[in-house]
Chains A and B, each alone.
Chain A
Amino acid sequence: DAGVIQSPRHEVTEMGQEVTLRCKPISGHNSLFWYRQTMMRGLELLIYFNNNVPIDDSGMPEDRFSAKMPNASFSTLKIQPSEPRDSAVYFCASSLDGLDTNYGYTFGSGTRLTVV
């Protein structure tokens, strides 16, 4: 299995532009998670999906952030408009057995976003 695939690996954009991050979870995994990692805040859970349905988006910082999962093999995280404080590494992760996993989450390699 290729693991969790994220694209792009790096993204540099200007303030005010729309940014779309993409994720392909492991086939057969039923839960998907979006995390943000910064030096100041560490790992923050933004949103998670179970069977393609958003379950909890309480970690999404504000309305500029939105996430979708149109099918079991694809999810997007969109920021519109982007701001410099959104600069971070964004990770997607998936889980075989849902939220309360005994197997742990499998993480992608992340997208490093820089907003200038």
Chain B
Amino acid sequence: GNSVTQMEGPVTLSEEAFLTINCTYTATGYPSLFWYVQYPGEGLQLLLKATKADDKGSNKGFEATYRKETTSFHLEKGSVQVSDSAVYFCALTGGYSSASKIIFGSGTRLSIRP
């Protein structure tokens, strides 16, 4: 079945550092890929998405490229801020199964030091 694997946290960086959070997936067919962000005490918010191979999703300075050849959707940001501290979830849906629901990764906690 479909699955998502993302890097273990927590990840701690200094402000203005470069961020990469790795995400790889297993799926049959052509899934859509998502990154969600969860700020403390809040629900998950859709951060960005990509629906086909080589698509790049971007939002708030974050970006991720759908790489079918490596089955990856790594999240990157060039210069992180303290306000980016949150838990980030990689997710996928779709593929060949028309009834497939979103599968979430286990989440990666990101902490940014001033």
Residues on A facing B (Cβ under 8 Å): 4, 33, 42-43, 45, 48, 55-56, 91, 93, 99-110
Contact = CB atoms under 8 A, between A and B. Distances in A.
Contacts, number: 59
B20 interface: no
Interface of B: 32, 34, 36, 41-46, 49, 51, 89, 91, 93-94, 97-102, 104, 106-107
A106 B104 contact: no
10 contacts: A33-B101, A42-B107, A43-B44, A48-B101, A55-B99, A91-B44, A106-B46, A108-B43, A109-B41, A110-B42
A93 B45 CA distance: 10
Nearest to B105: A42
Nearest to A107: B43
Contact of B102 (A91, A105, A109): A105
Nearest to A4: B43
A99 B101 contact: yes
Contacts of A105: 44, 46, 102
A107 B100 contact: no
